[in-house]
Structure 1
């Protein structure tokens, strides 16, 4: 793996849990994705990445190619949430499009998200039952998010449903987040306005946004 030695060096930086480097056709670094805990300011982590690559490998990078995803600490842990005064604004995934294609008993869902200037597409397929189609929208959203994260961050869909609260319909999602720090169930919800599919995707993003911080 061409970037393995670089990734190993970056993983030794304090607060870094995992990293993934992507290159372009010229074998130059085009993207560096960092998964970190919330112990340090993401801006400091980016500076450390620049310093490590320059000192150990003689490589100068633009700090703009480094993205940091911070995993918020458990509520009972002493480490504070990452509420830092940042020049690089926190990024939240935004929904661009959703599509559903069915073929006999099978269904395929595509979800496209944007994060900053980047777009990510997630695809999920399975049997076309009413309940399983709901799960596919969650899975496709998770798969889209996985394009911007590291292999050390894993989501599993626990449950999804459309419920009624008074005169409103609400999409509810439970996701299990699995990292080297352990497992945690995340819950998200969104009002169903015109489209159940859109509400499920937004509920999934709501669950993720409660735990992860993107920079």
Structure 2
């Protein structure tokens, strides 16, 4: 449980890294965060992630936050953001179709995707974004959407869970998690959560 919770926390907006203490249960959560967000909001996000995703309630007094200006990983994520731009994304009301417009290294890309059998709209959006990345970024691994869900609260939070596979042997290499607040546009939030999950991994390939 601790590993999954740690990954979710590390992808929260404003969190640079975190460490969890405790063996069977989490005793304390120590977080390094940037100065862009109020620490109280980060604490609320951590409480929500623990409660909703793992049905685990942690006392806010056990969550400590140290704030810094920036770090290397944040700089690298910014590097990727400069080269991958989500211009627009929308779904059509009368059919399960997702239309995506992105810029990758200055190249404008517009593609449209139909939902697969049994695929919900959230996974369709995630698959659409990752399909473009798999196609236009020279990345030696394949990105696959595992799950996308929303955590309800004062500020709704979209969580994107993504796996990286080696296409040569079809073996899963690593699981990635991205989290983004919903600001009146769930489609955009889902797409941004997917990009947040993979940015640090693909920045060296841009």
User: Are residues 1:101 and 2:92 paired?
Assistant: yes
User: Structure 1 residue 209 and structure 2 residue 199: aligned?
Assistant: yes
List, as ranges, runs of 4+ consecutive aligned residues in structure 1 with deviation greater than 6 Å: none
The answer for the alignment partner of 2:189 in structure 1 is 199
Mark the CA change 1:184 to 1:207 in structure 2 (over 3 Å): closer, same or farther: same
Q: What do the CA deviations read for 1:65-109 (whole angstroms, capped 9, x no partner)?
A: xxxxxxxxxxxxxxxxx98xxxxx934211101121254xx5111
Q: Which has the higher strand share?
A: 1
Classify 1:140/1:194 alpha carbon distance in 2 versus 1 (closer, same or farther; 3 Å): same
CA distance in 1, matches of 2:185, 2:104: 22
Deviations 1:148-183 (A, max 9, x none): 22474211110000112x411011000111136951
- Cα deviation digits, residues 90-148 of structure 1 (max 9, x gap): 34211101121254xx511121111231122343322697x700100100101121232
Q: Is the 8 A contact 1:122 1:145 kept in 2?
A: no
Q: Which residue of 2 aligns with 1:163?
A: 151
2:107 to 114, 118, 121: 118
Alignment partner of 1:141 is 2:129:
yes
Query: Could you state the TM-score of these two structures normalised by the residue count of structure 1?
Result: 0.51
Match of 2:22 in 1: none
Question: Per-residue deviation at 1:206?
Answer: 0.3
Q: Number of paired residues? A: 127
Is 1:123–1:144's contact at 8 Å kept on the other side of the alignment? no
Q: Matches of 1:202 and 1:119 in 2, distance apart?
A: 17
**Larger helix proportion of the pair:** 2
Counterparts of 2:105 and 2:154, CA distance in 1? 36
Q: 2:162 aligns to what?
A: 175
In structure 2, runs of 5+ residues without a counterpart are 1-71
Task: Judge conservation of contact 1:107–1:128 (CA < 8 Å) in 2.
Answer: no
Q: Does the 8 A contact of 1:137 with 1:197 survive in 2? A: yes
**Bigger Cα Rg:** 1
